[in-house]
């Protein structure tokens, strides 16, 4: 096989995610009364970017065969922090930004330390830390409120040169700054190795602990960026439990739609981004098809159920029944 076919095989999940998204977005745009206008693209991008950040965060951890059920709560917590400190003069705003991102990073690092050095199962450990993060968010914002530097917020949720949604540019920047260096580094490859076979990776001297810690920490950072963007969209902070748990659940869905294997070692954060956009498009589609809003959660659930069932098609190719129990 030539080089590019290896590459294609490696990227299969990501390309699947891209295909699902393009298909759904195509159907959406074809039926949209206004068609593909700058406004439609901007709204779609702004809604998609929030989930995309959380999905990237989830993908980081899932690649190491872990799971982070606290991403939604880190998202809510950083939203509440941002609504306090990302205000004032440019200097104060910059410090505030740094503070918010640091808070997200610390939350992620705590998860990582508990899972790696505390040797706790990721599912239960992050459920518990999620409760703590949500409690802290409630302490900061018992009632919705606060404000944010509006110039910065408008710049990041508006358009560049009148056409390109700047939130998309921001997301692309984060992919280039965080994801690509991570993936091509030794740590990133170790994260994949830990996800596909931790025992084998450990015995070959791969630094799995450092890799997993980096993955959880970066997940916290990315979730913090999501929380920051939420503040830019809403101008307020709100400790909403439903929002936090909803984002956690949809981040897992986005990761699956984006072709990241929940068993670890396969897929990419880019795929998760496409998965997030696809998940968001299901909601938008119901709008253009003029479906009663009451039907929206049910249809979203059915789309999700169908999407994950497609993943089961591989079963038809199984020759030996023992292959089921990988």
Partner 1 sequence: MTEATENKMSFRARLPAPFRHVDPAVLIAFGCILLLLLLGSLYSSNFLSPEYLLQQLKVASFLGVIAAGMMLVILLGQIDLSVPWVMTMGAMMACAAAGSGSIGTILAIPFGIFCGMVFGLLNGFGVAYMRIPSMIVTLATNVVVQGLMVLYTGGFSPQDSAPKAMRWLATGFIIPGVPNAILVWAAVSAAMVFLLMRTTFGRAVYGIGNSERAAYLSGIDTRRVIMIAFAVSGTLSAFGGVLLAGYASKAAQAMGDAYLLPSIAAVVLGGTSILGGRGSYLGTVAGVILITLLQSILSVMQMPEAGRQIVYGFVIIAMLLLYGRAPANQ
Query: Across-strand partners of 222?
Result: none
- Of the ranges 130-138, 175-183, 229-237, 283-291, which one interacts with partner 1 (CB under 8 A)? 130-138
Interface with partner 1 (CB under 8 A), residue from 134, 182, 229, 247? 134
Interface with partner 1 (CB under 8 A), residue from 41, 106, 175, 202? 202
The 3-class SS string of the chain reads: CCHHHHHHHHCHHHHHHHHHHHHHHHHHHHHCCCCCCHHHHHHHHHHHHHHHHHHHHHHHHHHCCCCCCCHHHHHHHHHHHHHHHCCCCHHHHHHHHHHHHHHHHHHHHHHHHHHHCCCCCHHHHHHHHHHHHHHHHHHHCCCCECCCCHHHHHHHHCEECCCEEHHHHHHHHHHHHHHHHHHHCHHHHHHHHHHHCHHHHHHCCCCHHHHHHHHHHHHHHHHHHHHHHHHHHHCCECCCHHHHHHHHHHHHHHHHHCCCCCCCCCCCHHHHHHHHHHHHHHHHHHHHCCCCHHHHHHHHHHHHHHHHHHHHHHHHHCCCHHHHHC
Residue closer to partner 1, measured from CB, 3 or 292:
292
Question: Does 124 contact partner 1 by CB under 8 A?
Answer: yes
Residue 212 beta carbon to partner 1: minimum distance, rounded to whole angstroms: 12
Residues 6-65 that bind partner 1 (CB under 8 A): none
Residue 106 beta carbon to partner 1: minimum distance, rounded to whole angstroms: 15
Residue closer to partner 1, measured from CB, 17 or 165:
17
Residues 135-154 that bind partner 1 (CB under 8 A): 135-139, 142
Question: Does 312 contact partner 1 by CB under 8 A?
Answer: yes
Interface with partner 1 (CB under 8 A), residue from 8, 177, 249, 291? 249
Site string (270-309) toward partner 1, x via CB under 8 A:
----------------------x-xxxxxxxxx-xx--xx
Residues 82-121 that bind partner 1 (CB under 8 A): 114, 118-121
Question: Does 175 contact partner 1 by CB under 8 A?
Answer: no
Residue 92 beta carbon to partner 1: minimum distance, rounded to whole angstroms: 26
Interface positions with partner 1 (CB under 8 A): 67, 114, 118-121, 123-125, 127-132, 134-139, 142, 198-199, 202-203, 239, 241-242, 245, 249, 252-253, 256, 262-263, 292, 294-302, 304-305, 308-309, 311-312, 315, 321-322, 324-325
């Amino acid at each position: 096989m030539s080089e590019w076919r290896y590459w294609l095989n490696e990227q299969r999940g990501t390309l699947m995610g891209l295909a699902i998204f393009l298909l759904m977005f195509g159907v959406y745009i074809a039926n949209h009364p206004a068609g593909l206008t700058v406004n439609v693209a901007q709204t779609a991008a702004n809604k998609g970017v929030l989930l995309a950040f959380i999905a990237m965060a989830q993908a980081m951890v899932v690649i190491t065969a872990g799971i982070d059920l606290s991403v939604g709560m880190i998202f809510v917590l950083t939203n509440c922090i941002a609504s306090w400190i990302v205000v004032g003069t440019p200097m104060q705003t910059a410090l505030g930004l740094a503070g918010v991102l640091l808070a997200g990073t610390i939350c992620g690092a705590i998860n990582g330390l508990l899972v790696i050095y505390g040797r706790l199962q990721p599912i239960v450990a992050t459920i518990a830390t999620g409760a703590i993060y949500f409690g802290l968010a409630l302490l900061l914002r018992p009632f919705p409120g606060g404000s944010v530097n509006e110039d910065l917020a408008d710049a990041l949720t508006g358009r560049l040169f009148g056409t390109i949604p700047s939130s998309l540019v921001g997301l692309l920047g984060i992919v280039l700054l965080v994801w690509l260096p991570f993936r091509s580094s030794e740590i990133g490859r170790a994260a994949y190795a830990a996800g596909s076979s931790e025992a084998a990776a450990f015995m070959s001297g791969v630094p799995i602990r450092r890799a997993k810690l980096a993955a959880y920490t970066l997940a916290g950072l990315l979730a913090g960026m999501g929380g920051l963007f939420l503040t830019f969209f809403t101008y307020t902070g709100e400790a909403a439990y439903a929002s936090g748990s909803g984002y956690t659940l949809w981040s897992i869905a986005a990761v699956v739609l984006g072709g990241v294997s929940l068993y670890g070692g396969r897929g990419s954060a880019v795929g998760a981004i496409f998965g997030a956009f696809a998940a968001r498009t299901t909601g938008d589609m119901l709008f253009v098809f003029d479906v009663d809003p009451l039907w929206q959660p049910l249809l979203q659930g059915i789309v999700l159920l169908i999407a994950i069932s497609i993943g089961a098609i591989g079963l038809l190719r199984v020759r030996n029944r023992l292959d089921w129990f990988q």
